[in-house]
């Protein structure tokens, strides 16, 4: 087999893999990831369901790729909004419109804590990145006097991320929970600068 032909097949394979990820992300967002979702993805891509796994080591690798795509789209939601606290409420609003992906995230994050789990590395790195980015934003705000300075920026970032995950979990059980508003209120109260009493 010529090198040119091999490269062409690799490029086609990478293109098909990306098509599967994009399609699965769209399908899972509204229809969920259980039941006939994979069959629907295969139909839309134009392959048999079993063929999906020629491009992934298994279902868990596909689900992790979908979650990574969800993260990429989350950053796009912000547009010009800087990564940090201001991006969290718009992401929460987006999550409400994509209940299938929100459920997938909750289920996968709860089961991937074992270091041997296929998604463990993804979630470990994701939490490190999110906490770091929010802590950088909080530190900048602490310097400008917008945010309290009596608590470490990394701890404030961890508490904010924990609140986001907690609100999201509650929303899965009660759709009246307003995640975005809850985050805005938390940020206003938890991060408000402390003023000495007159």
The CATH number of the domain covering residues in 3-190: 1.10.357.10
CA distances from residue 128 to 12, 26, 131, 147, 152 in whole angstroms, order as listed: 33, 26, 5, 21, 16
Any residues with CB less than 8 A from the CB of 2 and at least 6 apart, and which? none
15: helix, strand or coil? helix
Residue 112 has pLDDT above 80, yes or no: yes
d(CA 81, CA 19): 28
Q: What is the overall mean pLDDT for the chain?
A: 88
- Check residue 43 and give its pLDDT: 93
Reported as a pLDDT band with limits 50, 70 and 90, residue 124 is: very high
Domain boundaries, the chain: 3-190
Q: For residue range 143-198, list pLDDT tens digits in order.
A: 999 999 999 999 999 999 999 999 999 999 999 999 999 999 999 998 888 764 44
Q: For residue range 98-109, list pLDDT tens digits in order.
A: 999 999 999 999
More confident residue, 49 or 134: 134
Helix (H), strand (E), coil (C) string for 44-56: HHCCCHHHHHHCC
Percent of the chain residues past pLDDT 90, beyond the cut:
61
Residue pair 140/157 in contact by the 8 Å Cβ criterion: no
Residue pair 62/56 in contact by the 8 Å Cβ criterion: yes
User: What is the total residue count of the chain?
Assistant: 198
């Amino acid at each position: 087999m010529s090198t040119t032909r091999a490269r062409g097949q690799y490029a086609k394979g990478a293109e098909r893999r990306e098509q599967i990820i994009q399609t699965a992300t769209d399908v899972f967002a509204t229809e969920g990831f259980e039941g006939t979702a994979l069959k629907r993805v295969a139909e839309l891509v134009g392959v048999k369901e079993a063929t999906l796994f020629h491009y992934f080591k298994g279902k868990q690798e596909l689900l992790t790729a979908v979650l990574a795509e969800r993260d990429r789209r989350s950053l796009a939601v912000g547009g010009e909004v800087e990564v940090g606290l201001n991006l969290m409420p718009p992401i929460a609003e987006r999550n409400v419109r994509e209940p299938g992906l929100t459920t997938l995230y909750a289920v996968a994050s709860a089961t991937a804590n074992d270091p041997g789990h296929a998604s463990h590395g993804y979630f470990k790195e994701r939490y490190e990145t999110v906490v770091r980015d929010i802590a950088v934003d909080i530190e900048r705000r602490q310097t400008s006097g917008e945010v309290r300075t009596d608590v470490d920026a990394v701890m404030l970032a961890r508490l904010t991320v924990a609140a986001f995950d907690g609100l999201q979990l509650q929303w899965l059980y009660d759709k009246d929970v307003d995640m975005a508003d809850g985050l805005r209120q938390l940020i206003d109260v938890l991060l408000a600068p402390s003023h000495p009493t007159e």
